[in-house]
Chains A and B, each alone.
Chain A
Amino acid sequence: MDVSEIRFEPANFPASLEKLRQEVREFLAAERANGSIPRPNRVSMFVDKAFTLKMGKRGWIGMTWPKEYGGHERTALERYAVTEELLAAGAPVRAHWVTDRQTGPVLLKFGTEEQKREFLPRIARGEVFFSIGLSEPDSGSDLASLRTRAVKVEGGWKVSGTKLWNSNSHHAQYMVTLCRTTPVEGDERHKGLSQLIIDLSASGVNIRPIINLPGEHDFNEIVLEEVFVPENMLVGDLDKGWFQASTELAYERSGPERWLSAYRLLAELTEALGKKAGPATVAALGRLLAHLLSLRQMSMSIAMTLESGRAPNLEAAIVKDLGTCFEQEMVVVAKDLVQAEGLNALERGRLVQELLDHAQLWSIAFTIRGGAKEIMRGVIARGLGLR
């Protein structure tokens, strides 16, 4: 392809979004003021189910979905604006975040009428959460090699296998599980996979916590032992699960969370450095902000593309790669700025130091989760015509 075709359409957001942004900011400020949510001292999102219910009441979950399924028929750009505001504030939206971002759209696109009516309104109210059942012990980046099997039985399937790195499953009621429904060999292995909704309270489901590097319980291992899944829990078409799961990953990769995951560190650092910082510090901060503003342009451009109905997979891979690498570099730069300005010894530097320590540990995950950096670069290389 002609490389110059990788051009992001300039983002031009309608002014009407400002009212919505303001609404979100005022809500978050009020929640902060009345002590419902803290001023963040860590960079990862955390689970606050009461807060998630409030989000549901506000209409900020399932924003773009049809009203008949509990959605709010807002535009993709409106959803994008709310997403940015929540990330920038470090709001505790972990409980519903992935379900809203990935599961809802997949059910809406591929789910049966019955599934949509059953799940979407509850998701939009902030009551039901899904786990994403993709990775396995021997299938990480090479997802199509997965071994979880669904064997056809009377009225449904019996599913056996192990899913791994399931974030947040200990809070979730269901898991959209990619599994093999038809045995195939070699090059054909992308075929014969299906997505089944598994009730995590069903018999044969065992969830084991895995404590992550920052010392938190986010990951789980889910062992499935002949779990019965009724026929009506098949999402979309039998053996078409690969395509459906790929669609889901495009939602995961293109959002502003790829460059706003550790944003609280940048915000607190910018404040703590103060106006008297030396010129080298000012320039180092300016360099980070230049990256952030560039990523935002690209991300908004993608949001506009999504609005028009096109799936910008190449652009999403570029933003994910650049965004996650930027955030890792931000941690390194922040360390030196904290030292250069002596913030480590000052009271006003304490929050920055806490965020920095937490960001150091979490930032390792940024270039791994949601498609490893190497996989993203493979997608980009394919776009360049090299694969």
Chain B
Amino acid sequence: MSETSKMFVEAASRVLQDWCTKPAYEAAEAGGIHADLWQKLEEGGFTTLLVPENQGGVGASLADAVELLRLAGRHGAPVPLAETMVASWVLSQVGVPAVRGPLTLALGADGSSWKLSNSSGKAKLTGSQVDVPWGLSATVVVVAQQGEEAVVGVVEPGRISGTGRSNIAGEPRDNLAARALGITAMAATRSISRDQVLRHIAIARAGMMVGALGHALEMSVRYVRDRKQFGRPLGKFQAVQQQLAVLAGEVAASSAITDAAVARVDQWDGDLLVAAARARLADAVDKVSIAHQVHGAIGFTREYALHLNTRRLWAWRDEYGSALHWREMLGRHFIGTPADDLWPRLAAVGREEG
């Protein structure tokens, strides 16, 4: 961890500890954002970590931002922090002046896409998308790949119509639709692409997933050390130890491949490593039921905090590219490779030259 990262992680840790409490989760479940929590995050500079210093941001690396997002994942922070970080970075890349958060990202999805156009000096947005995080309450930053250019549009909160919905974790995931909607700002660039933005937010989400997995494991370890049955702590039973060892392996593997993908997100193999990280994480999420199993009935309640991590993990598994999407992308890259060429191609992943 870099010094910048350490400093921010310590500061963010205090904010998240103090403010990720019942009212904040309730605000999210009602479709909104807890104003005090958000204000603290903004004041700490956490939302503009990725924006260059000369544009009023912190100018931190993606690795630094992901360290902080791991923490947000641990706390199940019920705010679009990752979205705001990446969307602010997108705006800084296309030269749109900074917009106050909270921001969200609308990158389009398979089977739907956005179209941004400029007619007689007026920027217009057409298209639709399901499951946009805080799509109805945050400023929406739309990114569409139009030929060689990534076109970015900014839509003020409430301007776009849609249906309020939520994911399995109770986080707002809204369906949005627009037809020739006049929008606040629009810009185009060749310096970034829509897929690059997807990679960034997908790996940002991966960091949150690693944090949430790690915390679910920690809660489980703590619980089985305290909870006694048959006259001894649950953690003394081999059956329980073996299960938690499996979960620990899943967390370790997810963490390792996520770190690798973060480090190389903008390199030639960035899409492969992000795909590998997200595909690996999906399998880890599918084993987080172990955390529930060792908790017994108490984990199957809203009173006990484990669900703040596990419900999010189940939702996040398929957000910003489903598990299937990332598996297929990775498989597509290698399938059909002559047997003796496969290893050199695999071993090149993580290296400077492709």
Residue numbers of A with Cβ under 8 A of B are 2-4, 6-8, 10-11, 13, 15, 18, 21, 25, 29, 39, 84-85, 88-89, 263-264, 266-268, 270-271, 273-275, 277, 279, 281-287, 289-298, 300-301, 315, 318, 321-322, 374, 376-378, 380-381, 383-387
B180 within 8 A of A: no
Closest CB-CB distance, B284 to chain A, in whole Å? 10
Asked whether B275 lies within 8 Å of A380 as measured between CB atoms, the reply is no
Asked whether A270 lies within 8 Å of B335 as measured between CB atoms, the reply is yes
- Could you show 5 A-B contacts with beta carbons less than 8 Å apart? A10-B259, A39-B339, A89-B343, A383-B248, A384-B244
Asked whether B221 lies within 8 Å of A384 as measured between CB atoms, the reply is yes
Asked whether A284 lies within 8 Å of B327 as measured between CB atoms, the reply is yes
Closest CB-CB distance, A259 to chain B, in whole Å? 11
* A-B contacts, CB under 8 A, total: 195
Binds A, one of B46-54, B138-146, B345-353: B345-353
New A-B contacts (4) at CB < 8 Å, excluding given A2-B218, A15-B352, A321-B246: A88-B343, A270-B335, A270-B337, A290-B279
- Residue in chain B with minimal CB distance to A267: B339
List, in ascending order, chain B residues with CB within 8 A of A289's CB. 276, 330-331, 334, 346
Complex-state Cα separation, A360 to B332, whole angstroms: 26
Q: Which of A267, A286, A297 contacts B257 (CB 8 A)?
A: A297
Complex-state Cα separation, A380 to B214, whole angstroms: 15
Complex-state Cα separation, A295 to B236, whole angstroms: 29
Closest CB-CB distance, A8 to chain B, in whole Å? 4
B336 within 8 A of A: yes
Q: Which of A6, A10, A297 contacts B248 (CB 8 A)?
A: A6
Q: Which of A84, A89, A290, A322 contacts B249 (CB 8 A)?
A: A322
B251 within 8 A of A: yes
Asked whether A283 lies within 8 Å of B342 as measured between CB atoms, the reply is no
Asked whether B334 lies within 8 Å of A270 as measured between CB atoms, the reply is yes
Complex-state Cα separation, A292 to B251, whole angstroms: 15
Complex-state Cα separation, A18 to B350, whole angstroms: 12
B255 within 8 A of A: yes
- Residue in chain B with minimal CB distance to A84: B347
Complex-state Cα separation, A285 to B339, whole angstroms: 14
Complex-state Cα separation, A273 to B331, whole angstroms: 11
Closest CB-CB distance, A304 to chain B, in whole Å? 12
Asked whether A378 lies within 8 Å of B245 as measured between CB atoms, the reply is yes
Complex-state Cα separation, A339 to B246, whole angstroms: 30
Asked whether A8 lies within 8 Å of B245 as measured between CB atoms, the reply is no
Complex-state Cα separation, A2 to B221, whole angstroms: 10
Number of interface residues, chain B, beta carbon within 8 A: 59
Complex-state Cα separation, A39 to B221, whole angstroms: 47
Asked whether B257 lies within 8 Å of A293 as measured between CB atoms, the reply is yes
Which residues of B (247-290) have their CB < 8 Å from a CB of A?
248-249, 251-257, 259-260, 263, 272-273, 275-277, 279-280, 283
Complex-state Cα separation, A183 to B215, whole angstroms: 47
List, in ascending order, chain B residues with CB within 8 A of A322's CB. 249, 252-253
B77 within 8 A of A: no
Complex-state Cα separation, A273 to B335, whole angstroms: 7
Asked whether B343 lies within 8 Å of A298 as measured between CB atoms, the reply is no
Asked whether B335 lies within 8 Å of A282 as measured between CB atoms, the reply is yes
Asked whether B276 lies within 8 Å of A290 as measured between CB atoms, the reply is yes
Complex-state Cα separation, A13 to B331, whole angstroms: 25
B338 within 8 A of A: yes
Residue interface bits B199-216, CB-to-A below 8 A is 1, else 0: 000000000000000100
- Residue in chain A with minimal CB distance to B218: A3
Complex-state Cα separation, A287 to B334, whole angstroms: 12
Asked whether B241 lies within 8 Å of A13 as measured between CB atoms, the reply is no
List, in ascending order, chain B residues with CB within 8 A of A263's CB. 343
List, in ascending order, chain B residues with CB within 8 A of A294's CB. 253-254, 256-257, 276-277, 280
B43 within 8 A of A: no
Q: Identify whether the interface residues of A are mostly helix, strand, loop, or mixed.
A: helix
Residue numbers of B with Cβ under 8 A of A are 214, 217-218, 221, 224-225, 235-236, 238, 240-242, 244-246, 248-249, 251-257, 259-260, 263, 272-273, 275-277, 279-280, 283, 324, 326-332, 334-340, 342-344, 346-347, 349-352
List, in ascending order, chain A residues with CB within 8 A of B214's CB. 3-4
List, in ascending order, chain A residues with CB within 8 A of B347's CB. 21, 84, 88, 296
List, in ascending order, chain A residues with CB within 8 A of B244's CB. 381, 384, 386
List, in ascending order, chain B residues with CB within 8 A of A296's CB. 346-347, 350
- Residue in chain B with minimal CB distance to A273: B335
Asked whether A271 lies within 8 Å of B351 as measured between CB atoms, the reply is no
Q: Which of A6, A281, A290, A301 contacts B330 (CB 8 A)?
A: A290
Interface centre among B242, B253, B273 (most CB of A within 10 A): B253
Asked whether B350 lies within 8 Å of A11 as measured between CB atoms, the reply is yes
Complex-state Cα separation, A195 to B283, whole angstroms: 42
Asked whether B260 lies within 8 Å of A381 as measured between CB atoms, the reply is no
Known: A381-B242, A386-B241. A283 touches B260 (CB 8 A): no
Closest CB-CB distance, B158 to chain A, in whole Å? 39
Known: A4-B214, A297-B350, A298-B256. A291 touches B283 (CB 8 A): yes
A-B complex: 10 closest residue pairs judged by Cβ atoms: A286-B331, A290-B279, A377-B245, A381-B241, A286-B330, A275-B336, A380-B245, A88-B343, A286-B327, A282-B331
Complex-state Cα separation, A6 to B251, whole angstroms: 9
- Residue in chain B with minimal CB distance to A377: B245
- Residue in chain B with minimal CB distance to A322: B249
Q: Which of A4, A13, A39, A374 contacts B218 (CB 8 A)?
A: A4
Complex-state Cα separation, A267 to B7, whole angstroms: 45
List, in ascending order, chain B residues with CB within 8 A of A274's CB. 335-336
List, in ascending order, chain B residues with CB within 8 A of A273's CB. 335-336
Complex-state Cα separation, A246 to B255, whole angstroms: 28
Closest CB-CB distance, B35 to chain A, in whole Å? 30
Asked whether B248 lies within 8 Å of A287 as measured between CB atoms, the reply is no
Complex-state Cα separation, A283 to B347, whole angstroms: 20
List, in ascending order, chain B residues with CB within 8 A of A386's CB. 221, 224-225, 235-236, 240-241, 244
Q: Which of B240, B324, B340 contacts A267 (CB 8 A)?
A: B340
Q: Which of A21, A287, A293 contacts B327 (CB 8 A)?
A: A287
List, in ascending order, chain A residues with CB within 8 A of B218's CB. 2-4
- Residue in chain A with minimal CB distance to B345: A270
Closest CB-CB distance, A319 to chain B, in whole Å? 9
Q: Which of A3, A270, A283 contacts B221 (CB 8 A)?
A: A3
Asked whether A271 lies within 8 Å of B246 as measured between CB atoms, the reply is no
Asked whether A267 lies within 8 Å of B343 as measured between CB atoms, the reply is yes
Known: A11-B260, A18-B351. A293 touches B276 (CB 8 A): yes
Complex-state Cα separation, A155 to B288, whole angstroms: 59
Complex-state Cα separation, A331 to B186, whole angstroms: 51
